Amino acid sequence: MNYLGSKIRLSGFIYNEVSTSIGQNLADCSFCDLFAGTGIVGNFFHHKVKSMVYNDREYYSYVLNTAFYSEVNEKHYRSMLNELNQLEGVEGFIFQEYSESGSAGRLYFIANNGKKIDAIRLHIERLFQNSEINEDFYILLVATLLVAVDKIANTASVYCAFLKQLKKTAMCGINLVPLKRAFKRIEYKIFREDSNALIKNIKGDLLYLDPPYNGREYGSYYHLLNTIALYDTQFQPKGRAGSRSYSTSKFCLKREADQALLELIDHADFKHIFLSYNNEGFISPSRIKEIMTDFGTYQCSSLKYPRFKSHRNNPRSYTEEYLHHLIKY
Ligand SMILES: C[S@@+](CC[C@H](N)C(=O)[O-])C[C@H]1O[C@@H](n2cnc3c(N)ncnc32)[C@H](O)[C@@H]1O
């Protein structure tokens, strides 16, 4: 998924920095990805550490991260995807509210894809309600649908707006493809909580923090993934984007981000804290250094990194990604 702030291309760098700076064997450590998003960083570490915790306050993220650990038999999974891919479309909520020819006139999907999303999502729900699949399978299928949806959405990668003209990928038919899953069974937990509340109830060895660093609120930018995952079709989609209600993260508010980070670090019962943060974020690198130094030994590394590539951005534009490291007293 082309996710805002995704660390897909930075996971190798993060892994090298973490493994060389902790002074102990990774295999003896627990790892917590507290702002997990797509889970890419946690997934990169999962077979290298003792246990994993994922957290993100968005439901779609909970679904994606849970699906990674699904134990559904691969053959059974693939045959179910074949069945779902062949369903006839129906004119349901997604078609009416978010598709070409739908009553709301929002162009997130071509008409056929809108109908297919409804048909697939309704079928998954029926299978689960009729106990024909368990919760593990249900979450895996919903996650598979979200990833497929993201490939054919008519957006500039985020869902706060749709494009006026259909882009090429949006004209392709939706196709469910099996997701990559954990290849090593380890102890894991997945939460869907506010980071600053959860931090008071967990402890461990390595804490990885990747909070938002500007005003782009994920609840707004990815509202449609939450709507498809929840399929709570009684709500009234709002405005031109057809969004749902959300609360803004403190990390997305310039006046509150500093205090939120300070409190998070203060309450963290972890030996090592790693923080990914961009040089253009609300909190400056020097301020992060100041905050962290109060709690222990601080070091930092950085990497020049291409900006988030929504299709409107200049792909040659770079930014500096910092990985701050605190060894807590
Ligand atoms: C920069 S993204 C993380 C990207 C992730 N590392 C990846 O590679 O996919 C930040 C994430 O923090 C989540 N988030 C924002 N505020 C939060 C909060 N207060 N508690 C928990 N999660 C939060 C957002 O939903 C978003 O998924």
In tens, the pLDDT along 169-181 reads 999 999 999 999 9
pLDDT of residue 315: 57
β partners of residue 13: none
pLDDT of residue 291: 98
Give the DSSP letter of residue 32.
E
Q: Is the pLDDT of residue 14 over 80?
A: yes
pLDDT tier for residue 82 given thresholds of 50, 70 and 90: very high
- Give dist(CA 96, CA 240) in Å, integer: 14
Q: Is the pLDDT of residue 6 over 80?
A: yes
pLDDT tier for residue 51 given thresholds of 50, 70 and 90: very high
Parallel, antiparallel, or unpaired for β 296-306 and 203-209? unpaired
Structure tokens at 325: 């490291």
CA 37 to centroid of ligand 1, rounded, Å:
5
> How many residues are present in the chain?
329
**Residue range 143-171: mean pLDDT, rounded:** 98
In three state form, how does the secondary structure of 256-291 look? HHHHHHHHHHHHCEEEEEEEEEECCCCCCHHHHHHH
Q: Which atom of ligand 1 is nearest to the CA of 38?
A: 9
Cβ proximity of 68 and 182 under 8 Å:
yes
Cβ proximity of 152 and 169 under 8 Å:
yes
CA 92 to centroid of ligand 1, rounded, Å:
30
pLDDT of residue 319: 84
- Give dist(CA 309, CA 67) in Å, integer: 26
Q: Which atom of ligand 1 is nearest to the CA of 10?
A: 8
pLDDT of residue 304: 86
Alpha-carbon torsion, ordered 195, 199, 200, 201, to 10 deg:
110
**Residue range 67-91: mean pLDDT, rounded:** 98
**What's the CATH class of domain 1-65+182-212+249-329?**
alpha beta
Where does ligand 1 bind, in terms of residues with CB under 6 Å? 3, 5-7, 35, 37-38, 40-41, 55-58, 61, 194-195, 210-212, 218, 249, 251
Each residue's pLDDT tens digit, 198-238: 999 999 999 999 999 999 999 999 999 999 999 999 999 99
Q: Is the pLDDT of residue 88 over 90?
A: yes
pLDDT of residue 165: 97
CA 87 to centroid of ligand 1, rounded, Å:
34
Give the DSSP letter of residue 23.
S
Q: Which atom of ligand 1 is nearest to the CA of 58?
A: 25
Query: How much of the chain exceeds pLDDT 70, in percent?
Result: 97
pLDDT of residue 306: 75
Runs of H (alpha helix) within 46-178: 59-68, 74-85, 93-98, 111-129, 135-152
Q: Domain residues of the chain, as ranges?
A: 1-65+182-212+249-329, 70-176+221-248
Cβ proximity of 248 and 219 under 8 Å:
yes
| For ligand 1, mutation pick of 9, 10, 57 (most atoms within 8 Å of CB) | 57
